[in-house]
Amino acid sequence: METSTKHVKKWVRHLGDLGVQTLHFANVLGGRRYESDRLLVIGTPEFEPWHFVAHLAEEAKRDHRADLIPTLVRWEVPQGAPAHLAVSLSELSQMTRNQTLLVVSSCSHSPHLLERVTDAKKRGARIMAVHREDEDLADISHEMLFVDPLRDGHDFDLTQHLITDIATMVELQEPRRWPRRLRRDVPPVG
C-alpha cells in the first residue's frame, strides 16, 4: 500500500498531540543517524505484533530501506514456521549495540517482557517502545511512544500504521522541514 500525504495528514489530525508524537517516534526509528544493523520487534506473550512487522517490512522494501526490514521475535515459535517468523526469545540474548529492539505492547505490564528487554539493553541494544501503560518499560526505553489506555484500540492500531508508513520516508524529518503540502493542517509540535 502506497502511503499518501493525504492519509498521513488525516491520521495525524485525528490523533492530535498523539499524532505529532507518533511522527517524532517514526522519525527517530527511521532516522539515518540511528541506523542499525538489525531491527527486532517483540510484543508480549498475549500480543504478537505480526501485523506491524508485516506492514513495516512491506514499506521498508518498497522504499529500499533494508535497515528497517524487521524481524519478529516470538514467545513461542510454531513448528514449521517460515524462517522470518521463527525467531525465538533466545535471539535477544545475542543483541549488540548496533541493533534496535522495538517493543509493541498493548497490555499494561509484562514482567517477562521487561526482563528480556532489560537484558537486550545491557548488551547495548537501542530500545524503542510503543506501549499502552507500562512505566517500567518506558523507564528502560531510549525512545518511547505512550498511547493512553483510555484511548480506544483503533487509536493504538492507527498509531502503529503511522509509524510503519512514515519511518521509511526519508524526506519526512521534523514537521518544520516537511514539504509544504504535508505541513499544512498538521498541528504544531510542542
The per-residue pLDDT for 134 is: 82
Answer positive or negative: Cα dihedral of 106, 54, 118, 142: negative
176: confidence class by pLDDT, cuts 50, 70, 90: low
Tell me the C-alpha distance between 179 and 162, whole Å: 17
Question: Residues 92-111: what's their mean pLDDT?
Answer: 87
The per-residue pLDDT for 146 is: 93
The string of pLDDT tens digits covering residues 117-154 is 999 999 999 999 999 888 888 899 999 999 988 888 88
Structural domains of the chain in order of their starting residue, each with its CATH number: 5-169 (3.40.50.10490)
The per-residue pLDDT for 189 is: 42
pTM for the model stands at: 0.84
Tell me the C-alpha distance between 55 and 51, whole Å: 6
Q: Is 9 helix (H, G, I), strand (E, B) or coil?
A: helix
Average pLDDT, the chain: 83
The string of pLDDT tens digits covering residues 70-95 is 999 999 998 888 877 789 999 998 99
Grid coordinates representing 27 are: 522519525
The per-residue pLDDT for 181 is: 47
